[in-house]
Amino acid sequence: MHREVHKELEKKMDKTISFLKEDLGSIRAGRANPKLVDKIKVDYYGTPTPLNQLSNISVPEPRCLLIQPYDINALKDIEKTLGASDLGVNPSNDGKVIRIMIPELTEERRKDLLKTVKKETENAKVALRNERRDTNEKLKKMEKNGDLTKDDLRDAETEVQKITDKYIKKVEEIYSDKETEILEV
């Protein structure tokens, strides 16, 4: 019975990890990364459309993003949207593709980015702890209803803590990787 509860907890925690990775992927470090433009939506014939559905996005050099629209008519709209975005980049359009040069990060900008990354990872840890609390409450209700013995409850809560520790460690590894990426010169 409590095995399903543990599987459900892992599923929820996997979603938290995926969300964190997605969020941190859009934070610009010193290198070009197609994930930087994942959240960009371009007005394409009146419909806000994700940029990655309108074009091929590649990284020909470490500090350059190359955006090649499938429909050449969308080039101007893509360029305008990128210029107005909060990425802080100046796209250049040669009539066929858009190039985005990723500038070096200043020391101050690196510190700001690290604060943002730290905040996002702390939010993920809080979410994981909330999922742990909710699962433990569910297990206590099961024990109260007679579905679990006191020993089963203790074992199940110990397993919940092991699962939580495993995911907290994943969050810390993700933070460490992003920190390395941001501090890389």
pLDDT of 134 reads 95
pLDDT of 27 reads 72
pLDDT of 64 reads 85
Domain coordinates in residue numbering, the chain: 1-28+106-184, 34-101
pLDDT of 30 reads 65
CA distances from residue 24 to 72, 114, 162, 183, 185 in whole angstroms, order as listed: 30, 10, 25, 14, 19
The pLDDT averaged over each successive group of 10 residues in the chain (185 residues) is: 86 93 74 77 87 88 86 87 78 87 79 89 95 94 90 92 95 91 73
Residue 80, token pair as written in the block? 């305008």
pLDDT of 122 reads 96
- DSSP letters, 101-167, are E-PPPPHHHHHHHHHHHHHHHHHHHHHHHHHHHHHHHHHHHHHHTTSS-HHHHHHHHHHHHHHHHHH
pLDDT of 180 reads 85
Residue with tokens 């949207």: 81
Considering the domain delimited by 1-28+106-184, tell me its CATH architecture.
Orthogonal Bundle (1.10)
Q: In this structure, what are the phi and psi dihedrals at residue 38, rounded to the nearest 5 degrees?
A: -60, -35
pTM for this entry? 0.69
CB 90 within 8 A of CB 83: yes
> What kind and span of H or E run contains 41?
strand 41-44
One fold for 1-28+106-184 and 34-101:
no
Torsion angle in degrees (nearest 10) through CA of 94, 97, 103, 104: -130
Q: C-alpha angle 48/50/53, rounded to 5°?
A: 120
Task: Fold for 34-101, please state it.
Answer: Gyrase A; domain 2 (3.30.1360)
Name the 3-class secondary structure at 71: coil
